[in-house]
Structure 1
Amino acid sequence: MSFIREVNSKCDSFEHLIIKHPCLSRDAHFNYGRIHLPVSPACNIHCKFCTRGLNKTENKPGNARKVLTPEEAVDVLDKALELCPEITVVGIAGPGDTLATDHALRTFELIHKKYPDLIKCLSTNGLLLKEYAEKIVSVGVKTVTVTVNAVDVDILEKICSYVRYNGKYMVGKEAASWLILAQLAGIRKISEMGVVVKVNTVLVPGINDFHVEKIAKVTKKAGASIINLIPLIPQGAMKDIAPPSCIELNKARENVEKHLQVFRHCTHCRADACGIPGKGYDISSLLYDNFQLEETFSHG
């Protein structure tokens, strides 16, 4: 059964999401646009490969020119739609976690009122996904991406440094266990509510490369529909780990594809990316010419 038929067996109304979502469909990747609105200023976990920041040059997740207010984000979207009418998806993927503050949900609420037909897509580490599931659906979000780097405590402990939840600071196996349970519970709940769930997994050679098939199997059982393996960008505490080779990446994709459809066209998008990703150009610099570049960022 193809991915589209599998999703449609859950809900036929999702067909248009797959066809027009450049992060779910190969064809859409080359024909439709997306915008990432950088409205989330803080994160509630820390992954050892993550270095977030505010800049104009680093082409990788977690980076943006500035953190927008929800109201500024609507203005930026207005301008983006004029410049790139092919945009079908409004995503929020940082620079921090979308559920660590209420900024992303407030932004989606404003956008859904003005542009109800645009696909809304939220990316999260999943720590708070279950408890915000109803709110996420109420502001029009139809697709959610959850970054799941391990479903085994001993492996995730090597990737995630700490978790902060309701004022509690957790490290080690406690943090890893808490995060895994929260992610799977969140995926289960949000998928049961009719939201399409994609899993992102950062492929870290020697740490979770042998584990990705289990991630796919477990997250599919929880309700995920598609997975994207992201090659490690050596940075932070993992700056000395070499990224996976093409051979290693393809082998990992073959393993996870036994359980989930694999999206193969990820481009390591910034948190303020805008344009048609498959056509290799980005118009985000045109959207921020009236904004001053910020020099501080909350890593809390």
Structure 2
Amino acid sequence: MGALENIHKENTDFSHLAKIHPCLGGEAHATFGRIHLPVSPTCNIQCKFCKRDCNSDEERPGVANGILAPEDAVETVRKALELCPQITVVGIAGPGDTLATPYALETFRLVNEAYPNLVKCLSTNGLLLARYAQDLYDAGVRTVTVTVNAVESDILSQINSSVVLDGQVYCGKEAAVKLIAAQLEGIRLASKLGMVVKVNSVLIPGINEDHIGLIAKTVKEAGASLYNIIPLIPQHKLSHIPAPTCEQLNQARETAETQLEVFRHCKHCRADACGIPGQLDLSYKLYGTLKRLETFSHG
């Protein structure tokens, strides 16, 4: 049975997905591909290290060549499969938060109807994950990545500036408390529904480097199956903090592994990545004609 035919399993589990999802397992990372559909333009939180943009130059999260309309997603996936038949995963990872607007959920519904055998994967800050977890599951999403940079408000308030929830803006520790509670509830509910949950943390020297063990323990208890620790890219309001050294990154990963399995192959992918990670990226061929947003939001 071929890889794509074997993906669609009602009782999908982590061990199976790790073999065919390049962002869940090392075995799959160099073998299978993914396409990111950049349908989510805005965000509902502001992280101090995050600077979203539309360009074709930077290789990092929060960046795409432009914004794709949900109604164009199915045709885009078709073209992507022609360019890279090894694609097994359709992901949405921004460039804003995927649940801050309805476009990601709308896109998954369309893509799942056309390509039920492809894995559907969502990345989110988790603020609205509990609210939309059932809808995501019904739309075929089976893997979710939640970025959790701290599980204590004193630490998170040094990383996150604000949260916008139901039209209300929260700042400082109040924002941190709301975000942490929402993330953990979202992880619990997504896991309970049967989705595989991976947690990402940005390692920020001097802020959360000694907090990684507690994050790992806390998200595991909430239902996460995998942990991915990625180094800070110094920019925006944290441009003065140097990226962690290899020693700091390895130490954090070793600490986390006492609690939870750690993924060590992350490539800091763009929100419009296409192809097999670490190999030739096909995003320009796929998205080269997308229009740049004239009023791209950094809110």
TM-score normalised by length of structure 1? 0.94
Matches within 5 A, 1:133-152: 133-152=133-152
Distance 2:107 2:270 in 1: 18
Where 2:21 maps in the other structure, the secondary structure is coil
CA apart distance, 1:75: 1.8
Amino acid at match of 1:95: P
Q: In structure 2, how many angstroms separate the alpha carbons of the residues matched to 1:17 and 1:164? A: 33
The CA distance in 1 between the partners of 2:234 and 2:192, in whole Å, is: 36
- Amino acid across the alignment from 2:241: I
After superposition, the CA RMSD in angstroms is 1.1
Do the aligned residues in 2 keep the contact of 1:162 with 1:170 (CA within 8 Å)? Answer: yes
CA distance in 1, matches of 2:228, 2:14: 19
Change (3 A) 1:153 1:289: closer
Equivalent residue number for residue 80 of structure 1: 80
Instruction: State the partner residue of 1:241.
Output: 241
Rounded to whole Å, the distance in 1 between the matches of 2:248 and 2:216 is 17
Match in the other structure for 1:3: none
Letter paired with 1:296: T
- Alignment length (residue pairs): 289
Deviation of the 1:281 alpha carbon: 1.5
CA–CA separation in structure 2 for the residues paired with 1:172 and 1:47: 11
More divergent stretch after superposition (225-234 vs 15-24): 15-24
Q: What residue is the counterpart of 1:299 in the other structure?
A: 298
Instruction: Tell me how far 1:292 sits from its aligned partner.
Output: 3.1
Deviations 1:99-144 (A, max 9, x none): 0000000000000000000000000000001011110100000000
CA drift at 1:17: 1.5
Deviation at 1:64, TM superposition (A): 0.3
Partner of 2:51: 51
TM-score, normalisation: structure 2: 0.95
Q: Deviations over 1:155-213 (max 9, x none)?
A: 00000000000011000110000000000011001100100000000000000000001
Structure 2, unaligned runs of 5 or more: 1-10
Amino acid at match of 2:30: F
In 1: Cα distance, 2:128 partner to 2:36 partner: 20
Cα distance, 1:155–1:133 mapped onto 2, change above 3 Å: same
Inter-CA distance 172–290: structure 2 relative to 1 (3 Å threshold)? closer
Note the C-alpha offset of 1:291.
2.8
Question: 1:56 & 1:115 partners in 2: Cα distance?
Answer: 28
The 1-side partners of 2:228 and 2:160 are apart by 19
Determine the structure 1 residue equivalent to 2:8: none
Flag structure 1 segments of 5+ consecutive residues without an equivalent: 1-10
Q: CA deviation at 1:14?
A: 4.6
- Alpha-carbon distance in 1 for matches of 2:281, 2:213: 33
Is 2:192 aligned against 1:192?
yes
Offset, 1:224:
0.2
CA–CA distance in 1 between the matches of 2:264 and 2:295?
Answer: 34
Which residue does 1:250 correspond to in 2? 250
Deviating 4+ runs (over 4 angstroms): 11-14
2:3 is matched with which residue?
Answer: none
Partner residue of 2:7?
none
**Contact preservation (8 Å) 2:54, 2:66:** yes
Is the partner of 1:177 in helix, strand or coil? helix
Alignment check: 8 A CA contact 1:133 1:186 kept: yes
CA–CA distance in structure 1, aligned partners of residues 65 and 160 of structure 2: 26
Partner residue, 1:290: 289
Aligned partner of 2:289: which letter? N
Identify the residue that residue 97 of structure 1 maps to in structure 2.
Answer: 97
Offset, 1:13: 4.7
Change in Cα spacing, 1:293 to 1:172, as seen in structure 2 (3 Å) is closer
Q: Distance in 2 between matches of 1:146 and 1:135?
A: 17
